[in-house]
């Protein structure tokens, strides 16, 4: 119990000494140590700064005597200093002493000592500045602050609740400790029982104001004396807030009361404590200034200045009090101290700066500052005059700067090596030339840096390093040496080794100066390397004299032109002329060269075998030192293959542009053509066989069909049309088509079928394949106006990668080769270059220019290749390669089904089309066929109709792309309502758009807009016949719906 009482006394004493006032914060945060001892030298107070200096904790120090810190070194001891102070023998204001730390190391300290009254007793007080190290005691400060916080937070408090009439409804047992009442005896009583009338009135008024502030207001803190059960009044700090119910009505007050008797008693000791702290403040050897913030931390006013600071800055405290630091010391704006004060005030983090110079009309010198913020919000700056130290440091830096400036201004590589063969310094030229950085070099052995070796040069055989000789003789030596840089590259240097001697005449360092002569040594190697590069260059290099006589050609010239070096030597470059350039071309070339300028351009030249090729050339005149032309150098590159690729690229870009146009307008055109064709067919049905108006309507239908075919051709060309891929037997298709061909082409053209018996099936759209055959056959017939032979052939071939790699997107493998040849006039090279371009025609106004471009589009969409060749002896052959199918031909594939048009239907069709014109036409067509038709504008309306329809819906006829809900999604919803309903999809969009909506999956029937009555009727019968009666589960796009680029 005695130890507990002593500990509580210590806590009370600590809280008294370390109060929230300015001097307490100052002492606790000082980086210097503060110690108070009694007459026997026992420590009765130490601050964290002294603990940091000694390495002991404050608790250990408080158990120690001053002699425990005495050092074994000679000089005045700490104990002796204490005795001198108490005896009044200390005359110097600051003295030096050596003390022993906890880790047995010694600290040199400057001590300012004085005698002070401590609790009415004579005591020694010491302010100790550690001059052996300058780190601050931030960690100790933080730990001490946390200790105070814990002590305050763990004080026993009274927690209570009262109603709005101040009747006590709840109180913790702590009330018995503080006021002597048991909770049972006080609960239910009014607060007026334990306070006098004035306090009770004040509490009532305070509570009324708290209720008026409403929910969310801050707690209110008041101090009041409350009556103890024995009649005494105990000062309490009361903190409370109003409680509200869910209706935001006040129902009571809750709070905490704390006994502040000790605090009140401590206040009586506060003035004594501040006097003691002020004595420390006044006796510090460091200058201390205390500021308060003004202008929101932009400037600071002096509130205190200790005597040391007054002496250092030649001002008095009275002079600076209340003045701004920028007014008294305007130089702080420029030297960074003002920014330092602002930062500490803003962040609360302490800051120690490097020495800065300050000068004005009154003072000048170097200062070192430690700045921190105290609990009051004020800023404390502790500073020392370090002018003498800084001036010595600057003088040394000036000497080093002179040395380094001299060292780094030399263009030679300089290395300074000590007697241990370690590199101690290098200049910038060395770093620039070797690509080392300074950290990689300094401290390493010179033979590691120069030779990447772990063995000293003098220990090697065949050593040419003279460094050891210079250390031994003290004489300079020059030589040529090879160094290996950081990249492992050998460089040649002229080396001068110069000794540096100490005061005893011995060599302490050697300066190695290296001049790079690698360029001279390597010039022959570079020439050899240049010749090798020219000889192995892939570009043609030709050198001629001023008369254009060939003097040199490299091997690339032989490979490209076919002329050997011996054949070319002595010849004029005109041996390569192709005749493609006129004389003015060559005149301009030679005018440029003879004028001393470089010529760049393209030649179409001729190889030895007569083949033409295009090359890009740069021809440069070579000048001697006087500027006279002595020869010409031509560097040329064969770009024939590149030009072909560029031409193919431009063609593909042109096709892509037209394809985008076709895909963009297809939907709108198809929706426009649908009512044109449909209403025309309906109108035709209204006219009798002899009606003259039938011819006009037929012309409209014919024009509409031509427009539809034109759209299909554009889509075929752009590879965006909807295709139905199936395994096909090409021989059967050609045989079936033969009769139609005979009726289509003139009778004087003989049709010959050369079909292989062992052909592989192809995965193709039968309609598109027939269109390819018809287009090629008709073109062939047009090429034989006088008659001739048209031959259609098939055979299976295997294409290698060497062949297919010339065509984008075509993979090697098994193909069916379809050939269409004629005995006509053939095609020119000019026509062959453009014949597959859209809208290119040799038939004048009789051709659309889309025939062959459509054919090429269809073949590419099938993943195939089309080529054209002139036949020996006359005529043309088109070669079409189609990829072989992985599936066998089914019995009904390749055979067109004939659909019997049923004139009268009895089924019910739910028609869903967002285009009003197409919906109206389709409704009319279906009604004409006898169907019961229920129209809807979109998917939402269709679902509502299906849900309320009383009869059976046999077929859903729906557009694919619609607002709100697409056709596929609509069918899923209808299928939930009527599982037996079948579906037929229609659309005017391109294949890729339709495929995105999942319509081309296995089991779903589709019709492309625009359609005729006959086509629509056939597709309806197909859908009602069973193919469209189930929704595919988890299907993907079938092979027949894949658009292949």
Q: What is the pLDDT of residue 991?
A: 56
**Three-class HEC string of 176-228:** HHHHCCCHHHHCCCEHHHCCCHHHHHHHHHHHHHHHHHCCCCCCEEEEEEEEC
**Do 31 and 139 form a contact (C-beta atoms < 8 A)?**
no
Task: Give start-end residues of each CATH 3.30.450.20 domain in the chain.
Answer: 16-135, 158-264, 288-388, 410-522, 538-638
Largest CA distance in the chain: 150
At 696, the pLDDT band (50, 70, 90 cuts) reads: confident
Summarize pLDDT for 833-863 with one digit per residue, the tens: 667 776 666 665 555 556 677 788 788 888 8
Domain 288-388 fold: Beta-Lactamase (3.30.450)
Give the chain's radius of gyration (CA, Å). Answer: 53
What superfamily does domain 16-135 belong to in CATH?
Answer: PAS domain (3.30.450.20)
The mean per-residue pLDDT over the stretch 478-497 comes to 79
> Cα separation of 193 and 200, whole Å?
9
Mean pLDDT, residues 440-452: 84
Nearest to 484 by CA among 445, 556, 416, 434: 434
Residue keyed to tokens 């059967």: 732
Q: Tens of pLDDT along 519-529?
A: 888 887 788 88
17-52 pLDDT, tens per residue? 444 455 566 677 777 888 888 888 888 888 888 888
Q: What is the reported pLDDT for 486?
A: 64
Write down the CATH superfamily of domain 908-1041. Answer: Response regulator (3.40.50.2300)
pLDDT over 70 at 8, yes or no: no
Fold of 730-883: Heat Shock Protein 90 (3.30.565)
Six-digit token string for 687: 């006219």
Query: What Cα–Cα distance (Å) separates residue 653 from each residue in 649, 716, 726?
Result: 6, 16, 30
pLDDT at 395: 84
Q: Which residues neighbour 225 within 8 Å (Cβ) at sequence distance 6 or greater?
A: 195, 196, 199, 233, 234, 235, 236
**What are 1032-1045's pLDDT values in tens digits?**
444 333 222 223 23
Q: Are strands 955-959 and 908-912 parallel, antiparallel or unpaired?
A: parallel
CB atoms within 10 A of CB 180: 16
For residue 82, give the H/E element and its range. Answer: helix 78-87
Note the CATH number of domain 410-522.
3.30.450.20
Is 413 or 31 the better-scoring residue by pLDDT?
A: 413
**Could you tell me the CATH superfamily of domain 158-264?**
PAS domain (3.30.450.20)
Q: Binning pLDDT at 50, 70 and 90, where does residue 631 land?
A: very high
Q: Is pLDDT of 655 > 80?
A: no
Task: Report the range of poorest mean pLDDT among 156-170, 604-618, 685-699.
Answer: 685-699
Q: Give the mean model confidence (pLDDT) for residues 981-998.
A: 69
Residue 717, helix vs strand vs coil: helix
Residues 675 and 1011: their CA atoms lie apart, in Å, by 9
Of the candidates 908, 972, 902, 971, the residue with the CA atom closest to the CA atom of residue 934: 908
Nearest-angstrom CA–CA distance, 986 and 973: 18
Question: Is residue 110 helix, strand or coil?
Answer: strand
> How many other C-beta atoms are found inside a 10 Å radius of the C-beta of residue 130?
21
| Mean pLDDT score of the chain | 80
CA distance 186 to 262: 24
Residue carrying structure tokens 């425990």: 68
8 Å CB contact between 215 and 227: no
Q: Residue 781: pLDDT above 60? A: yes
DSSP type of residue 1024: I
What is the C-alpha separation between 737 and 241, in angstroms, rounded? Answer: 101
Q: Is the pLDDT of residue 603 over 80?
A: yes
Can you tell me the mean pLDDT for 461-485? 81
Residue with the bigger pLDDT between 787 and 720: it is 787
Question: Mean pLDDT throughout 605-623?
Answer: 91
Q: Distance between CA atoms of 866 and 852, rounded to whole angstroms?
A: 10
What pLDDT is stored for residue 78 in this prediction? 75
Cis peptide before 1010 (omega within 30 of 0): yes
CB 911 within 8 Å of CB 1007:
no
Q: Where are the beta strands (DSSP E) in 269-378?
A: 287-294, 299-305, 351-352, 356-359, 364-373
Q: What distance in Å separates the CA atoms of residue 681 and residue 901, rounded to the nearest whole number? A: 14
Residue 984 contacts residue 1009 (beta carbons within 8 Å): no
Query: Helix or strand or coil: residue 9?
Result: helix
**Tokens, residue 344:** 């500490």
Residue 1030: both structure tokens together: 């189930």
Percent of the chain with pLDDT over 90: 19
* DSSP-derived secondary structure for 868-929: EEEPTTS-EEEEEEEEBPSSPPPTTTT-PPPPP--S----EEEEE-SSHHHHHHHHHHHHHT
Within the chain, all domains assigned CATH 3.40.50.2300 are found at 908-1041
CATH number of 538-638: 3.30.450.20
């Amino acid at each position: 119990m005695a130890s507990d009482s002593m500990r509580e006394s210590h806590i009370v004493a600590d809280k008294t000494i370390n109060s929230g006032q300015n001097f307490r914060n100052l002492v606790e945060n000082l980086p210097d140590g503060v110690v108070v001892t009694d007459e026997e030298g026992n420590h009765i107070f130490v601050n964290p700064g002294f603990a940091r200096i000694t390495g002991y904790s404050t608790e250990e120090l408080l158990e120690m005597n001053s002699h425990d810190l005495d050092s074994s070194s000679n000089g005045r001891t700490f104990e002796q200093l204490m005795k001198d102070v108490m005896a009044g023998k200390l005359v110097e204001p600051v003295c030096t002493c050596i003390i022993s730390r906890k880790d047995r190391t010694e600290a040199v300290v400057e001590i300012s000592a004085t005698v002070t009254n401590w609790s009415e007793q004579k005591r020694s007080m010491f302010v100790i500045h550690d001059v052996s190290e300058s780190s601050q005691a931030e960690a100790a400060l933080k730990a001490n602050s946390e200790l105070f916080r814990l002590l305050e937070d763990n004080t026993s408090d009274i927690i209570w609740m009262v109603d709005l009439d101040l009747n006590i409804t709840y109180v913790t047992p702590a009330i018995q400790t503080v006021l002597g009442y048991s909770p049972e005896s006080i609960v239910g009583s009014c607060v007026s029982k334990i306070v006098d009338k004035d306090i009770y009135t004040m509490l009532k008024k305070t509570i009324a104001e708290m209720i008026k502030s409403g929910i969310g207001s801050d707690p209110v803190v008041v101090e009041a004396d409350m009556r103890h059960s024995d009649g005494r009044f105990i000062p309490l700090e009361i903190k409370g807030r109003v409680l509200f119910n869910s209706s935001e009505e006040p129902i009571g007050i809750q709070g905490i009361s704390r006994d502040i008797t000790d605090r009140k008693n401590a206040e009586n000791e506060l003035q004594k404590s501040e006097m003691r702290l002020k004595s420390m403040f006044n006796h510090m050897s460091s200058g201390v200034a205390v500021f308060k913030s003004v202008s929101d931390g932009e400037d600071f006013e002096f509130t205190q200045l200790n005597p040391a600071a007054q002496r250092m800055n030649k001002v008095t405290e009275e002079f600076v009090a209340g003045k701004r630091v920028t007014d008294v010391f305007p130089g702080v704006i420029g030297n960074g101290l003002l920014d330092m004060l602002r930062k500490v005030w803003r962040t609360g983090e302490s800051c120690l700066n490097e020495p800065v110079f300050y000068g004005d009309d009154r003072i000048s010198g170097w200062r070192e500052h430690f700045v921190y913020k105290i609990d009051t919000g004020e800023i404390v700056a502790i500073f020392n005059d370090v002018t003498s130290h800084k001036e010595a440091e600057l003088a040394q830096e000036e000497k080093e700067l002179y040395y380094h400036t001299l060292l780094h201004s030399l263009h030679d590589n300089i290395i300074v090596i000590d007697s241990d063969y370690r590199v101690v310094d290098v200049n910038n030229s060395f770093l620039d030339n070797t690509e080392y950085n300074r950290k990689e070099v300094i401290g390493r052995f010179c033979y590691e840096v120069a030779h990447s070796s772990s063995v000293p040069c003098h220990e090697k055989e065949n050593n040419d390093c003279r460094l050891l000789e210079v250390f031994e003789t003290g004489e300079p030596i020059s030589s040529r040496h090879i160094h290996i840089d950081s990249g492992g590259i050998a460089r040649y240097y002229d080396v001068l080794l110069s000794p540096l001697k100490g005061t005893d005449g011995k060599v302490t360092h050697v300066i190695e100066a290296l001049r790079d002569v690698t360029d001279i040594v390597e010039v022959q190697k570079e020439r050899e390397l240049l010749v090798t590069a020219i000889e192995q260059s892939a570009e043609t290099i030709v050198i001629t004299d001023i008369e254009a006589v060939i003097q040199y050609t490299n091997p690339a010239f032989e490979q490209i032109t076919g002329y050997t070096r011996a054949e070319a030597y002595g010849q004029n470059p005109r041996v390569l002329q192709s005749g493609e350039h006129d004389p003015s071309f060559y005149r301009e070339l030679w005018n440029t060269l003879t004028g001393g300028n470089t010529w760049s351009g393209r030649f179409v030249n001729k190889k030895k075998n007569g083949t033409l090729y295009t090359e890009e050339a740069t021809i440069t005149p070579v000048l001697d030192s006087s500027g006279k032309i002595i020869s010409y150098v031509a560097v040329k590159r064969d770009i024939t293959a590149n030009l072909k690729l560029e031409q193919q690229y431009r063609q593909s870009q042109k096709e892509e542009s037209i394809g985008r146009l076709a895909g963009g307008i297809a939907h709108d055109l198809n929706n426009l053509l649908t009512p044109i064709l449909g209403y025309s067919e309906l109108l035709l049905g209204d006219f009798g066989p002899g009606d003259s108006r039938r011819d006009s309507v037929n012309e409209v239908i014919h024009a509409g069909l031509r427009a539809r075919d034109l759209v299909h051709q554009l889509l075929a060309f752009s590879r965006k049309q909807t295709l139905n891929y199936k395994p096909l037997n090409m021989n059967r298709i050609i045989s079936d088509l033969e009769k139609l061909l005979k009726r289509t082409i003139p009778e004087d053209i003989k049709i010959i079928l050369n079909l292989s018996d062992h052909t592989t099936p192809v995965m193709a759209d039968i309609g598109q394949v027939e269109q390819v055959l018809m287009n090629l056959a008709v073109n062939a017939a047009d090429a034989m106006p006088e008659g001739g032979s048209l031959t259609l052939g098939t055979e299976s071939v295997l294409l290698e990668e060497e062949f297919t790699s010339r065509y984008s997107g075509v993979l090697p493998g098994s193909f069916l080769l379809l050939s269409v040849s004629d005995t006509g006039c053939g095609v020119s090279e000019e026509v062959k270059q453009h014949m597959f371009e859209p809208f290119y025609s040799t038939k004048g106004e009789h051709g659309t220019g889309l025939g062959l471009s459509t054919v090429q589009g269809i073949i590419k969409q099938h993943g195939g290749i089309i080529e054209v060749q002139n036949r020996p002896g006359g005529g043309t052959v088109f070669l079409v390669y189609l990829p072989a199918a992985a599936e066998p031909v089914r019995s009904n594939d390749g055979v067109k089904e004939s659909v019997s048009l049923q004139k009268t239907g009895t089924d019910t069709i739910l028609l869903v089309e967002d285009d009003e014109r197409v919906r109206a036409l389709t409704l009319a067509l279906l009604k004409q066929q006898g169907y019961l038709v229920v129209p809807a504008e979109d998917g939402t309306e269709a679902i509502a109709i299906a849900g309320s329809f009383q009869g059976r819906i046999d077929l859903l006829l729906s557009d694919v792309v619609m607002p709100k809900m697409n056709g596929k999604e609509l069918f899923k919803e209808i299928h939930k309502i009527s599982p037996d309903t079948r579906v037929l999809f229609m659309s005017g969009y391109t294949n890729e758009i339709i495929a995105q909506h999942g319509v081309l999956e296995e089991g779903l029937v589709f019709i492309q807009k625009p359609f005729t009555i006959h086509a629509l009727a056939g597709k309806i019968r197909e859908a009602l016949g069973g193919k469209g009666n189930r929704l595919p589960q988890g299907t993907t796009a079938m092979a027949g719906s894949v658009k292949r680029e």
